Structure 1
Amino acid sequence: MKKYTPEKISEQFSKLLLLAVNICIGFIAVTLVIFLFTECFGFFQNLFLQDKDLKYSQVIEDLLVSFMYIEFILLIIQYFKHNYHFSLQYFIYIGITAIVRIIIVEHSDATETILLVASIFILTISLYCLRKFTID
């Protein structure tokens, strides 16, 4: 008969939780890929197949949304490649892309735009510090 110690039970429970998290992250990755293809299909349909006036900001917004999907997918790929570890630099990339998207779409208030640009500057400095001072 096997003897179950608290350490073995804890280890088995941790493995079960990790499996559940990995399955959920896998479902999220599949969903993001589907959304990416849907976004790209809509983008190319709007760009090439419709005879309406397409605004420059709408094209850029669609591209940036696609980049955000790609960044999230790459984040998940890196999670599985690097022994279930999320790298902080990908979250910073996603934050910068999201702020750029907001600046392009919502650029009516100058003060807000300056604050958003300052946020990008702070994120860029933190990305530099992260690369310079860590071994990630």
Structure 2
Amino acid sequence: MTKAIVKEYDRLSDRVTFALDLPPGTERDTALHEARKAAKRTRYATEPARDALGKPAKRLGKCVKAVQKVLGDHQDSVVARHALREIALAVHAAGETGFVWGLLYGQEQAVADRRERELPAVWADASRSVLGKALDR
């Protein structure tokens, strides 16, 4: 059971590290989405282990849930910005102003930027060093 958690956690760690090393842009957005999916798998791996491992598994699940939330909010912003861009292009093609859509796009970009700035601290809370020996049983 612990091996499965460690495997998923290691995958998550690799993906978060890879994503954070990339410059902002489409490739980083994709890498952050992959990290979100890995966080989800890691979190789900901790759930059946809670009875056997107790608080360490519960704490890891809680920390990884926070990582998943930050990454999920970021991905929601990526999807929203794509939709807003498409709408703005259609509106512009119809001869109308796309100003409002641009403002909304900017707000979503700010959400993504904020979540990217928050990620390192949230990730540190979920790091193996913080959890100590809990994963290495």
Same fold (TM over 0.5): no
> What's the TM-score once normalised by structure 1's chain length?
0.42
Higher RCO structure (Cα 8 Å, ≥6 apart): 2
Between structure 1 and structure 2, the one with the greater Rg is 1
> What's the TM-score once normalised by structure 2's chain length?
0.42
